[in-house]
Amino acid sequence: MKFLFFKNRKKLREENEKNILDKLDLNNIPKHIAIIMDGNGRWAKEKNLPRTMGHKAGVETIRDIVKACNSLGIKYLTLYAFSTENWKRPKDEVNALMKLLVEYLKNEFEELNSNNVVINSIGNISKLPRICEEELIKAYEKTKNNTGLVLNLALNYGGRDEIIMAFKNMYSDLNEGKIKEEDIKDETLSNYLYTSGMPDPDIIIRPSGEQRISNFLLWQCAYSEFWYSNIKWPDFTRENLYEAIYDYQHRNRRFGGIK
């Protein structure tokens, strides 16, 4: 009886996914999707589980959403996995997150690589535990020539921190005469960011009911479309991703102009 219930639920979910997927305009798929993976702690609390179990469940969602984005032909997916402010969390939680990251890279490497995914990171990864930094560099070196989805894991990432880093490097290039003050434009600063060479996110998704940017991609989000949902990240499904893309496709993006 229980088996039948789960089977029917799975079937229904797949049908819903297919229905919305069929409605997507495949000629207008966003190039860059960024996600603030929020709600893991509350998801766990609801179930009387430790917070780290919420993060563990969140990794399952990552696995599925990465595959879905790659199949849709999305070029960049940026996931906010650990912010410059997340160091304020209890040590045990920080350690658990770092462990999950290493496990993810080790367990998923073969599949991601065989699916042509580039495993990239944005943020100051030199301040992460050595093993995390090493695994990230190794994963990037082995996948950098792939041509499919670029998976940006935002780790020890903060938008303000990134802008300060960019500003300092630009200032030193100015002093050395590598760039001229009169040549500084939007793109000049963009080129100093971790996301240099990538398009700005078309859409930023934040599940779990919170509606704020939390120091994520501050420069890059100037004209991003925002999509919020009450679903907590561990419960976020492909259907939700397709809903977000569907809504995005029906927005009127004017970039300050008129249409």
Catalytic residues, which ones?
A: 38, 86
CA–CA separation, 4 and 1 (whole Å): 5
Q: Are 64 and 72 in contact (CB under 8 A)?
A: no
Q: Which one among 30, 34, 53, 58 touches ligand FPP, defined by CB under 6 A?
A: 58
Q: How far is the CB of 196 from ligand FPP (least distance, A)?
A: 21
CA–CA separation, 5 and 153 (whole Å): 36
Does 158 engage in binding with ligand FPP (CB under 6 A)? no
Please identify, among the stretches 9-17, 55-63, 190-198, 219-227, the one whose residues bind ligand FPP according to the rule CB under 6 A.
55-63
Q: Which one among 21, 81, 198, 241 touches ligand FPP, defined by CB under 6 A?
A: 81
Query: Residue 190's closest CA among 218, 211, 216?
Result: 218
CA–CA separation, 67 and 71 (whole Å): 6
Residue type, 2: K
- Among residues 125 and 198, whose Cβ is nearest to ligand FPP? 125
Query: Residue 61's closest CA among 257, 236, 179?
Result: 236
**83-112 positions binding ligand FPP, by CB under 6 A:** 86, 97, 100-101, 104
CA–CA separation, 57 and 207 (whole Å): 14
Please identify, among the stretches 35-43, 132-140, 198-206, 235-243, the one whose residues bind ligand FPP according to the rule CB under 6 A.
35-43
- Among residues 55 and 238, whose Cβ is nearest to ligand FPP? 55
Number of residues that bind ligand FPP (CB under 6 A): 17
**208-247 positions binding ligand FPP, by CB under 6 A:** none
Residues constituting the chain: 259
Which residue, judged by CB position, is nearest to ligand FPP in the bound state? Answer: 41
CA–CA separation, 198 and 196 (whole Å): 6
Angle between helices 130-143 and 91-114 (to 10 degrees): 20
Please identify, among the stretches 31-39, 163-171, 198-206, 236-244, the one whose residues bind ligand FPP according to the rule CB under 6 A.
31-39
Site for ligand FPP, rule CB under 6 A: 37-42, 55, 58-59, 62, 81, 86, 97, 100-101, 104, 153
